[in-house]
Amino acid sequence: MRAFQLGADGTARMHSIAQPVPRPGQVLVKIMACGLNFADLLMISRTYQDRPAPPFTLGMELAGVVAALGQGVDTLQIGARVAVFSGQGGLAEWGCFDANRCTPLPDAMPFDHAAALQIAYGTSHLALDHRARLQPGETLLVMGAAGGVGLTAVQIGKRMGARVIATARGADKLRVARDAGADHVIDSTAPDLRDALIALGGVDVVYDAVGGPAFTQAMRATNPEGRLIPIGFAGGEVPQIPANHLLVKNLTVIGLYWGGYLKFAPQTLSRGLATIFDWYESGGLRPHISHRLPLSDSQTALDLLKSRQSTGKIIIAPHGV
């Protein structure tokens, strides 16, 4: 079978490998869709929190059909449609995954939507609901609002009753953010972000997927008792947070690593995904997918992600688009 792997030499490319066989507690999944994430790029550069020893197959979230059961698996049946947060292994035609990582899909949910919902929507829901305790009527600032996680924060923020301000680069991405529900949009290249935010009444919660100097500007426009969540650093610069500013305005900076909850509170992730799937079934959420590409175009897809030419999610379809 084909699998897009990071090799021991540090190069990511397509390989031909043997189809895996499920071990006890695992299932074999025919992978129909894999969602790409900025973290995939970090795994290639070996700068992500989790660093599996190469060679390993890239692709952190996927959806497909259970094709075989390992010994002891009695919670799933062959033919079941599932979403899997795997951490790796999604950019392949087949994969073996722990059965407890598999979530049955609603009948009406297509595979590409299932692959797009897990990490991005899971991260934003956990950040805004469980960590920041976003309240109806509060003002949420989403920076990098047209990206994979940013766009989900706009949608979930609106679902939770917040007023949403979105920043993104360029008119096209701002249009995507507004279409997702943002009440106000600001071009991230504007030099006066702090002034623009203050003119809108300041912000109560900052959701930042970009990092860099804009984080400091947003912090200076955050209202007393505001909460700031650094989600990622797509801009390449980790902001340095002046603790004295936190004291003066009683601000809170909240760390969040969604995947880390698997180790100490997996039930929190399960509850969040259940909520997201419920919202999807009720028509309240729909992922924005800008590109659907075959497995052979995995490198092209990663290049699109790296150059920020995509909006929302990029989906790889190992068995055809």
Spatial distance between the Cα atoms of 230 and 243, rounded to a whole number of angstroms? 15
What per-residue confidence (pLDDT) applies to 49?
83
pLDDT at 94 over 90: yes
Q: Which fold has domain 133-253?
A: Rossmann fold (3.40.50)
What per-residue confidence (pLDDT) applies to 234?
76
Spatial distance between the Cα atoms of 276 and 152, rounded to a whole number of angstroms? 11
Could you tell me where in the chain the CATH 3.90.180.10 domains are found?
2-118+276-317
Instruction: Give tens-digit pLDDT for 221-266.
Output: 999 999 999 998 877 788 889 889 899 999 999 999 998 898 899 8
Beta-bridge mates of residue 236: none
Could you tell me where in the chain the CATH 3.40.50.720 domains are found?
133-253
What per-residue confidence (pLDDT) applies to 148?
84
* Stated length of the chain: 321
Taking the C-alpha atoms of 12, 314, 274 and 24 in order, what is their torsion angle to the nearest 10 degrees?
Answer: -30
Instruction: Give tens-digit pLDDT for 276-287.
Output: 999 999 988 899
Spatial distance between the Cα atoms of 36 and 60, rounded to a whole number of angstroms? 7
pLDDT at 208 over 80: yes
Instruction: Give tens-digit pLDDT for 58-90.
Output: 999 999 999 999 999 999 999 999 999 989 999
2-118+276-317 placed in CATH 3.40.50.300: no
What per-residue confidence (pLDDT) applies to 238?
87
Q: Comparing C-alpha atoms, which of 309, 109, 143, 101 is closest to residue 239?
A: 143
Query: What single DSSP character describes residue 131?
Result: I
What per-residue confidence (pLDDT) applies to 95?
98
